[in-house]
Amino acid sequence: MRFAVPLLLIVAAAPLAGCGAAHDPSLNEQQAAAAQNRAPDRDKVMADRWGQIFSNPAAVVAAANDFGFKVEGYKAAGKGFAATGKVTWPEEPNGIAVESAFEATGAKADTIETIRFTFDVKHEEKLDGRARDSYGYVRRIVLGFLARFEVGPGDTINGALQRRESAKDVQHGVSIIVDANPIGGGNAKDRHITVTFTRVGASAPANQTQGK
């Protein structure tokens, strides 16, 4: 009988420990689900993953650099912080050039509030057989960047990127806008495409740097 009380205390403490871990605010949904021995809520998992993009400037800069944007870092700029870079695809001319710019902005050094990709898709007079592949650069860069964080833009945005059309959507606490417009004075198929990801509730300074 002397061992009964300690055994009961151990048994009683086990679920309490699990409950405490599940409510630990430092745990993401997948970790909390594991602590509670349950299946994770998919919407919460996706919200966590999107949230990690905006709370991890170093990872965002590294992901942009994976696509050749040559971003130096997330630094003080104006009233907040910014990371910028540029790249032109393809590396060898094939009749289509995609001039790309990357920008991440926010009010604090440890938080990004807006991520923006800008693409100018321009056609030359003569296209070679590889030119068709260049149409996919916009979509491949955006989807590839998001894949680094295990998220995707959803069917609406994915379709707009593929067709080089405008669209907007809100998912998992993020506003996504694709703005596609003709480029005046060039080929009728030339497009200026801006893809913007904004954390819902972002402060004004993060949204005032485009074009500056």
Per residue in 51-74, pLDDT (tens digit) is 999 999 999 999 999 999 999 999
Q: What are phi and psi of 35, to 5 degrees?
A: -65, -30
Average pLDDT of 159-169? 95
pTM: 0.77
Q: Is the dihedral of CA 157, 144, 152, 57 positive or negative?
A: negative
Q: Inform me whether the pLDDT recorded for 159 exceeds 70.
A: yes
Q: How far is CA 22 from CA 13, 44, 48, 51, in A?
A: 14, 14, 15, 19
Which comes out higher in pLDDT, residue 64 or 31? 64
194 forms bridges with which residues in the sheet?
A: 118, 179
Among candidates 49, 191, 66, which has minimal Cα distance to 120?
A: 191
- How many Cβ atoms from other residues are within 10 Å of residue 180's Cβ? 19
Categorize the per-residue pLDDT at 15 as very low, low, confident or very high, splitting at 50, 70 and 90: very low
